[in-house]
Each structure stands twice: as C-alpha cells, then as structure tokens.
Copies of this chain bind each other. A is one copy, B any other.
Amino acid sequence: MSLRDELLKMAQAGREAARVLSLAGSELKNRALCNMADNIEANKVEILAANEKDLRAAREAGTTGAMLDRLTLNEKRVKDMANGLREIAELPDPVGEVEHEIVRPNGLRVGRMRVPLGVIGMVYEARPNVTSDAAGLCLKSGNAVILRGGTEAAESNRAIGIFITEGIQAAGLPAASAQVVRTTDRKAVAELLKLEGYIDCVIPRGSKKFLQWVAENARVPVIRHGDGNCHVYIDSHAEIRMAEEIAYNAKVQRPGVCNAAETLLVHANIAVRILPELLSRFTNAGVEVRACERVREIYPAAKEATEEDWKTEYLDLILAVKIVANIQEAIDHIAIYGSGHSEAIVTQDYLHAERFLREVDAAAVLVNASTRFTDGGQFGLGAEIGISTQKLHARGPMGIRELTTTKFIVRGQGQIRS
C-alpha cells in the first residue's frame, strides 16, 4: 500500500469515527477520557520502556539538552498525561449548544449550533505528551484526530496511541477516533497535508521553519500556532514597582516559551528612574541585555542592539531594550516588529491603557499583566491545543471550543420564500 493510500485509509476511518463522535453525548466521551487516563497509568511500564528506546536512539544521534528533555517521559510525566485527560473530562462540552437564537419577523427561529470540525490532523514535534493531550481535546470536542508526532518520539507515541485507543474502545467509541500515524517516513506529513475533503483542518506545532513548510505545502486548512515576538511597554505613567515585576516576569519566569517577552520598550520620561535597577536585575539573572543607544547611555553594560534584535524571538535569556518618545512610537514599533502574539503595556493612565488595548493588533493585548498569561488555562479555556496567531477561525489560545464550528439551525412552521 502506498503512503498516500495508507493515510487516505486512516482519514476515511477517521471520517466514519467523526460521524459517530459528533453525536456522542458528554457522558460517553467523558467515560472514554477517563478510560484513556486509567489505561495510560496502568501501562506506564510499557510507555516508559518505549520512551527509553526513543531516548537511546536520540542520545546515539547526539541529542542533548532541552531537546532531550522534551522527549523524556518519567513516572511523573506519565501521571500528568493521565491527569490532563481527566481534567479534559471535567470541562464543559460545547457540542450541541445553540448560540444567538433569534426569531425573524416571519417566525423563523434562526440559531447557531456548535458542532465538531470533523477530522483534525495534528502534526507536532518531540513532546510525547502532546499525543495524549491532543487526543483528549479532540475527543471531547467530538472530533476524530490523526496524530503525527516527531520521528524522534515514534516509539513513545506508538505506545501511548495503543493505550489511548484501548481506552476509547472500552467506552464503546470507534478505535479510529484517535489514530497515530506509525510510519516514520517523513513524507507522511506532506501526504497528510494534501488530503483535502478528508481532513477538515491541520494544526501544526513546531519550529518556525516547520510551520512555514506546512503553510506552503498544505492543501487542507491550517490553524497556525505561530511564534511570539512579544513586547512589554513601560509607559511614562507606569507604577515603577509594578512595571519592574511585570517586565522581569515576562522575560525570566520561563524564557523558552512563545509568550515570554523579547523586547522591552520604555517611555523616555521614566527611563532614568526605572532602567538602572531593572536592567541590573536582568543582568544578575543571567539575561543578556541588547539595547538602543539611549538605553546604553543610562546602562552602559548593555550590548548594542541591531535591527535584527527587534525582529528576533530569542526564546532565551536575551532581552532587547529600547527607549521610545511616547506611546505612539511604542505602538508603531510593535506594529512593525511584533508577531501578533502577546503585547503588554504597564501604565496608570486610563487613556493610554484603552488606546493600547484598541490599537495594538495581536492575539492578546494586556494591561498591567505579564505576557506570560497568554495561555488557555490562564485565560479560563481549560487545556489548550495551541495558540493561534492567525486571524481566521481562532486567535490566541485554543481550547475545545475552538475545535468546533457552528451550523445554522432554522426552525420553521412551513415558511417559504416569496
């Protein structure tokens, strides 16, 4: 069987499963989720053994550091996977809800019913826990999912896939509700992206380069989980202590993630009062500061920032710092260099806060809060399947509701069009 045929067969099985899932009630889906969780915990030995194979191969290939860490499972991480599924079972089920029902002058009742998307393709790298998280979120939202993780995690994903499927089947739902692509042939992703008419949407997660490749090769709709070149702007009317805490938190609390800040913009009127102490604190925390000329006059220890620095998502302990003349210059800087992820202002000025919220074009715009809050859990959506930086369909953290669409439902009493 050719690779395309193999994937097509999975997609067709997914379609069948999706039709069953779309009609499954919350209780049934929740039972499947709890089964999946129990089964993963009951088989942790097998999962860890499979993971060990991936780890050995990765070490032999010279993988180290953060990459190896992302690939690693241990008892705690397996337990977290299981608990993640149980938390998804606790979330409210959006499927079947009717929104915005109105009555038209001719008596027609027109509403929008939330329904699943159908078959979702999930394409991701390294972390094996994405396999169970994505399977759980798609199942709860009534979607079938085809999971294609990184080749480096193939054994772990295969094992997790088996125990997920068993859990789903034990609840009486179709095995094809969540399918793991087993081939390690890298062409499988390209084939998956071409199954228009079978796959309703692909959600890729991974490096910027990988996402770009997906966007260029996809014939099915893609929800892009984009990069985060996020800014914190400290306004002239900021409360100094609050500004320091937010800027520090946004950069240092977890620098390797997409909602960490990369550039600090500071109003000229407050720069001398805030920068010496704040930048020292950054330096002491191991953050490399790259700054514009005016900042370097105040804080000579900073390196010189180049044009490239304003564009870069470091995902590391590096911070670009720039002094701006006013809020307009801050908003303009963000419009030019921001990636539309998360942008924060620190200010006590009502008009500046409202203006920043209104004018900055990003998935999340925050006043007096750290950019690190852009997250499905923090925003109250429950678990998230990704953070979209595109504008169509879903923008910002995506929970189970964002894995659904609506259909118009119309209740009449014999109306015809004249």
Tallying the copies of this chain within the complex gives 2
- State which residues 217-269 of A face B: CB under 8 Å: 219, 221, 223, 239, 242, 245-246, 248-250, 253-254
Chain A, interface size category, equals 35 or more
Is the Cβ of B405 less than 8 Å from the Cβ of A392?
Answer: yes
Against B, the Cβ 8 Å flags (1 = close, 0 = not) of A332-374 are 0001000000000000000001000111011111111110111
On chain B, the residues within 8 Å of A96 by CB distance are 358
Is the Cβ of B392 less than 8 Å from the Cβ of A393? yes
Q: Which one of B253, B374, B411, B417 contacts A368 once the chains associate, using CB atoms below 8 Å?
A: B411
Q: Say if the beta carbon of A379 comes within 8 Å of chain B.
A: yes
Please judge, given known A-B contacts A367-B411, A369-B108, A391-B117, whether A23 and B221 are in contact too, CB under 8 Å. Answer: no
**Inter-subunit contact B104/A335 (CB<8 Å):** no
Establish whether residues A405 and B412, one from each chain, have CB atoms under 8 Å apart when the complex forms: no
Confirm or deny: A380 has a beta carbon within 8 angstroms of a beta carbon on chain B.
Answer: yes
A149 within 8 A of partner (CB): no
Quick one: given A249-B417, A390-B221, A392-B221, are A407 and B104 in contact (CB under 8 Å)?
A: no
Inter-chain contact A410/B366, CB cutoff 8 Å: yes
* Interchain nearest-CB distance for A206 vs B (Å): 19
CB-CB under 8 A from A254, the residues of chain B are 417
Q: Which residues on the B side are within 8 Å of A392 (C-beta)? A: 117, 200-201, 221, 223, 392-393, 405
A residues 296-355 with Cβ under 8 Å of B?
Answer: 335, 353
Task: Flag if A417 contacts B373 (CB, 8 Å).
Answer: yes
Q: Are A417 and B366 interface neighbours, CB within 8 A? A: no
Q: Please measure, in the bound complex, the distance between the C-alpha atom of A122 and the C-alpha atom of B366, giving whole angstroms.
A: 33
A373-413 CB mask vs B (1 if < 8 Å, else 0) is 11000111000000000111101110000000111111111
Q: Chain A 132-155 against B: per-residue CB contact (8 Å), 1 yes, 0 no?
A: 000000000000000000000000
Cross-chain contact B380 with A201 (CB below 8 angstroms): no
Contact of A414 among B104, B115, B246, B415 (CB under 8 A): B246
Interfacial chain B residues near A129, Cβ < 8 Å = none
Q: Does A44 contact B (CB under 8 A)?
A: no
> Are A239 and B414 within 8 A (Cβ)?
yes
A188 CB to closest chain B CB, in angstroms? 21
A250–B76 Cα gap in the complex (Å)? 60
Asked if residues B357 and A409 are in contact (CB atoms below 8 Å), the reply is yes
**Docked CA distance A216–B397 (Å):** 29
Cβ-neighbour of A405 out of B379, B395, B413 (below 8 A): B395
Q: Are B373 and A108 in contact (CB under 8 A)?
A: yes
Q: Whole-angstrom distance between the alpha carbons of A113 and B396 in the complex?
A: 12
3 tightest A-B contacts by CB?
Answer: A369-B412, A249-B416, A372-B417
